[in-house]
Amino acid sequence: MKKWLLSLCMVLALTACDNKKETAQANSKPVIKIGASFPLSGNMASIGNAAHKALAASISDANTNPDNKYYYELLVENDQMDPKLVNNIANKYIFSDKVNVIFSYFSTANRVVAPLAARHKIINFMTGFGEDILQSKYNFQNFLTYEAENEAVINFFEKMNIKNVDLVYQNIGAADQLLYPLQEMLKAKGIEYIVHRFNKEERDFSTLVFKIKNSPSQAVFIYAFEPEADILTTEIKRQKVDKIIAYNDGLPMTTDYALYEGYYNVGSILTPAEYQKAWGLDGQNAAYATYLYDSGQIVVEAFENAGATNKIPSSDEVSSYLLKKKNYSGIIGKYALDAKGQFHSKGQTSIVKDGKIVVYEE
């Protein structure tokens, strides 16, 4: 059996087990249906499975609260980070399953689901870059903004006393939206930089790494996804590049933390150790999962408190409650929700130590 299939079976078994334990509670409570899709196979399966575990834990915790008025049913599908699959799954959730909430994961999925959620007035919680995706009062995004990501990067450079850096950015995802403002911030701070770009499916990084190794920089800062990030890092190790090596939220996506020993990740908040253990993550791919758990709790709070007391609140009532309250707290700390539906929080630096990603302590 392929590894991804085994992983998928384990995740589905976990959800089935949780649902079985909680089914008895659903009999006496109105049901709120939550439809989520994650990449449970392919290059992003590790973070997809981690996100699934975190959201499942959040919903399970909500269902064990006897004071809650509603039972929360979590439906999960594997979208493989494929826009066509995302579209099919979202339409299934809307028209067949008639969910009250959709959770979409990463910009590829978010850009597909957001207009559907707006058109059909379904609450949609997103995790990923892109404030531009927020198209209506039904769409909410809980992840670091471009600005917060870059502020975390600048803080890291200043703390490490980095005055010259090689910026290595893959032509994918939010690269341009992150890189161009970062360059202006670096200029304002007097930090010199050289930009290197490469394409998706690039496999030979020998020339690029040779340039980096022989540049006057003190550090290399990388924005790259799998599998290119692993291949690039392997070449950095092979050529013995003796510089500070840091990644813009790339480390949570890898399955080979030993490869990144001693390297830094700058960006999203790492899930605290006690939650990693509870969710079965144990230091692996835990950063993005935190946002899913907190988002689940925020959604539950909104449904429990929005609208009239004798019926399930509408999407308009849930949206109004969320936007009116504005300030929230979660595992990672405090969130501030703006009028567009973007949750704002601060970034963090972590490091790979003894094969696990942990919070970097100076």
Q: What is the pLDDT of residue 284?
A: 61
Provide CB contacts within 8 A for 150, sequence distance 6+.
Answer: 178, 181, 182, 185
Q: What is the pLDDT of residue 14?
A: 53
pLDDT digit string (tens) for 282-305? 656 666 889 999 999 999 999 999
User: Percent of the chain having pLDDT more than 70?
Assistant: 90
pLDDT digit string (tens) for 117-128? 999 999 999 998
The dihedral region occupied by 310, where left means phi > 0, alpha psi between -120 and 50, and beta the remainder, is alpha
Could you tell me if 150 and 139 lie in one domain? no
Could you tell me if 67 and 157 lie in one domain? no
**Residue 258 placed within a domain:** no
**Residue 260 placed within a domain:** no
- The reported pTM is 0.86
Q: Among residues 215, 248, 281, which one ends one of the domains?
A: 248
Spatial separation of the C-alpha atoms in residues 264 and 267, rounded to whole Å:
10
- Tokens, residue 110: 């978010």
Could you tell me if 222 and 150 lie in one domain? yes
Could you tell me if 209 and 334 lie in one domain? no
- Tokens, residue 69: 């008025």
Provide CB contacts within 8 A for 30, sequence distance 6+.
Answer: 69, 70, 71, 311, 312
**Residue 285 placed within a domain:** yes
What backbone torsions phi and psi does residue 99 show, to the nearest 5 degrees? -70, 160
> What's the helix, strand, coil split of the chain in %, to 5?
45, 20, 30
* Position 146 pLDDT exceeds 80: yes
Strands 333-337 and 327-330: antiparallel
Taking residues 239-247, report their average pLDDT: 97
Distances (CA, A) of 11 to 39, 49, 279: 12, 7, 11
Strand partners, 167: 195, 221
Coil, helix or strand at residue 77: strand
pLDDT digit string (tens) for 169-193? 999 878 888 999 999 999 999 999 9
Could you tell me if 122 and 228 lie in one domain? no
Question: Do residues 193 and 182 make contact, with C-beta atoms less than 8 angstroms apart?
Answer: no
Could you tell me if 136 and 8 lie in one domain? yes
Q: What is the full DSSP assignment across 18-41?
A: HHHHHHHHHTTSPEEEEEEEE--S
pLDDT digit string (tens) for 330-354? 998 899 999 999 999 998 999 999 9
What backbone torsions phi and psi does residue 168 show, to the nearest 5 degrees? -115, 110
CATH of the domain at 107: 3.40.50.2300
Q: Based on the structure, what is the number of domains in the chain?
A: 2
Q: Which has the closest alpha carbon to 212: 189, 243, 256, 186? A: 243
Could you tell me if 134 and 165 lie in one domain? no
Could you tell me if 199 and 308 lie in one domain? no
Spatial separation of the C-alpha atoms in residues 121 and 119, rounded to whole Å:
6
pLDDT digit string (tens) for 258-274? 999 999 999 888 888 88
**Residue 189 placed within a domain:** yes
**Residue 257 placed within a domain:** no
pLDDT digit string (tens) for 155-167? 999 999 999 999 9
**Residue 354 placed within a domain:** no
Q: What is the pLDDT of residue 119?
A: 96
One-letter amino acid for residue 269 of the chain: I
Q: Domain of 287?
A: 3-144+272-344
Could you tell me if 214 and 316 lie in one domain? no
Could you tell me if 222 and 210 lie in one domain? yes
**Residue 253 placed within a domain:** no
Cis before 227 (ω within 30): yes
Q: What is the full DSSP assignment across 166-219?
A: EEEEESSTTHHHHHHHHHHHHHHHT-EEEEEEE-TT----HHHHHHHHTSS-SE
**Residue 359 placed within a domain:** no
Could you tell me if 110 and 174 lie in one domain? no
pLDDT digit string (tens) for 10-58? 444 555 555 544 554 456 899 999 999 999 998 788 889 999 999 999 9
Could you tell me if 11 and 132 lie in one domain? yes
